[in-house]
Amino acid sequence: MRKLILALALAGTALSSSAIAAEKLKIGTEGAYPPFNFVDSSGKIGGFDVEIGLALCERMKVECEVVAQDWDGIIPGLLAKKYDMIIASMFITEERKKQVAFSNPYYLAAMTHAAPKGAGINDFSNEALKGKVIGAQAGTTQADYIAAVYPDAEIKLYPTQDEANLDMVNGRLDLQVGDMLPLLDWVTKNDDGKGCCELIGEPITDKKFVGDGVGIAVRQEDDELRERLNKALDEIRADGTYKKINDKYFTIDVYTMK
């Protein structure tokens, strides 16, 4: 009997330890998309996405580790269980829903055009931009957009947004399409961006490309985690935590874009 009791006690301890271990989650992010996610001078991953993710983890009472992953491998990394969720400014689109499940949006999304100052571009039709060199980050909805809208342009795709920006600074791009907030940050706060470039045209809000906002991606079978993230998001919106993080990076509420 004593052996049985001891065995049950040990089994209970093992189960308890397993449950605790299960509450250590990993967040996958790109680390190359300021101000949403970036690696600072000390090598630490930071940014709006990361701070929101850690606030959600705190609210869910779980320990979280942030993992950097190149964008083109970020969904495969989730499916391979390198991390448990993606918080990396990922637009919620029907195409991505075929592979992953999404939380409710944690901010709204729009894309925009950026061009060298004085480029004089005011017609954004395929005909007007025929032969122009247009860039975007590879594997993004922005890349899908320029491929669909500008079939007669010369399309250049880049592993990171920073590389697209650099080519524009160096005069290798006539136009680029990117997520509105990072490009706005670049042309207003970055010395290279301020010196060379400006946002032009109206925001691009076609739901075929920007989807229903920006969400947290989880594996399709992780429905419980998705619901917990939604609940935690509601709570950090209600108690002011979201606003505190938002105001550190932006002058508008990116949850409502107002």
pLDDT tens for residues 192-242? 999 999 999 999 999 899 889 999 999 999 999 999 999 999 999 999 999
Query: Would the pLDDT of 189 be above 60?
Result: yes
In the predicted model, what is the mean pLDDT of residues 32-57?
A: 96
> What pLDDT band is residue 86 in, cutting at 50, 70 and 90?
very high
> What pLDDT band is residue 22 in, cutting at 50, 70 and 90?
low
- Order the strands of the 175-179 sheet from edge to edge: 154-158, 133-137, 175-179, 111-116, 197-204
Please identify which residue in the block is written with the tokens 């919620």.
Answer: 92
Tokens of 111: 């894309």
> What pLDDT band is residue 3 in, cutting at 50, 70 and 90?
very low
Query: Is pTM, for the whole model, over 0.85?
Result: no
Burial string for 208-222 (b: 16+ CB within 10 Å, else e) reads ebbbbbbbbbbbeeb
Q: Is 43 left (phi over 0), alpha (psi -120 to 50) or beta?
A: left
Q: What is the pLDDT of residues 75-85, one digit of tens each?
A: 999 999 999 99
Map residue 90 onto helix, strand or coil.
strand
Average pLDDT, the chain: 92
> What pLDDT band is residue 25 in, cutting at 50, 70 and 90?
very high
> What pLDDT band is residue 109 in, cutting at 50, 70 and 90?
confident
Closest CA relative to residue 185, chosen from 75, 65, 35: 35
Query: Would the pLDDT of 2 be above 70?
Result: no
Percent of the chain past pLDDT 90, that is, above it, reads 86
What lies within 8 Å, CB to CB, of 13 at 6+ separation is: none
Query: Would the pLDDT of 18 be above 50?
Result: no
